[in-house]
Amino acid sequence: MMRIATGCARAAALWIALTCALVPAGRGARAAQNGQVQQPTGSWQKPGEIQQPKGSWQQPGEIQVPKGIQAIHAQASSCEQRLTTVADALFAFDQATLGADAEQTLAVLGPQIAQRGPHPIVIEGHTDSIGSDAHNQRLSEQRAAAVRAWLAAHRYVPATTPIKGYGKTRPVAPNTHPDGSDDPAGRQKNRRVEVVIKTCP
């Protein structure tokens, strides 16, 4: 009787041990079957670093300064002809001394004056809006005088040809944009020297 009881106790202990060992595995299997998120295996593709653009970017260039015949614009009305020269082709900014490249333009301007025959001539100077009225008036007169001196030295005009300076009072283009910001292209057009040929008696 004692042996039977001992055998039953051993069998019961073995059954309990097996049950305890199997329950966690069963729960894990059921959890997988119940749709819990499974961790993927293998390697993931990772995003690379942001690539910087290569090559040179196009930078806005400075305003081009026309030279020679490109710097001269001719206009005619009933009693006068105007040969307008961009001052930037003749002078450095805010200067009245002819620059190193000025002769390239004046050598074109002179013959154009001569082609129009012997008429009274006035040489006008004009500036942009930067600076005081007095400064621009003086600068415009000095620039007109410098152009006259070159043309007279090369016998295109008499040394007594009258000059006039108008400073910034007669712009031909806006000095600023509508929002008030600077307009370099407009100011360049306003910096000019004009040879006015009077064609009426």
3-class SS at 11? helix
pLDDT in tens, 164-191: 999 999 999 999 999 999 999 999 999 9
Structure tokens that stand for 156 in this block: 């295109």
pLDDT in tens, 91-133: 999 999 999 899 999 999 999 999 998 899 999 999 999 999 9
In a domain, 56, yes or no: no
In a domain, 27, yes or no: no
What is the domain range of residue 98? 68-198
Amino acid identity, position 145: A
Average pLDDT estimate for 134-162:
98
CATH number for the domain spanning 108: value is 3.30.1330.60
In a domain, 23, yes or no: no
pLDDT in tens, 134-147: 999 999 999 999 99
d(CA 113, CA 73): 12
d(CA 174, CA 102): 25
Domain count, the chain: 1
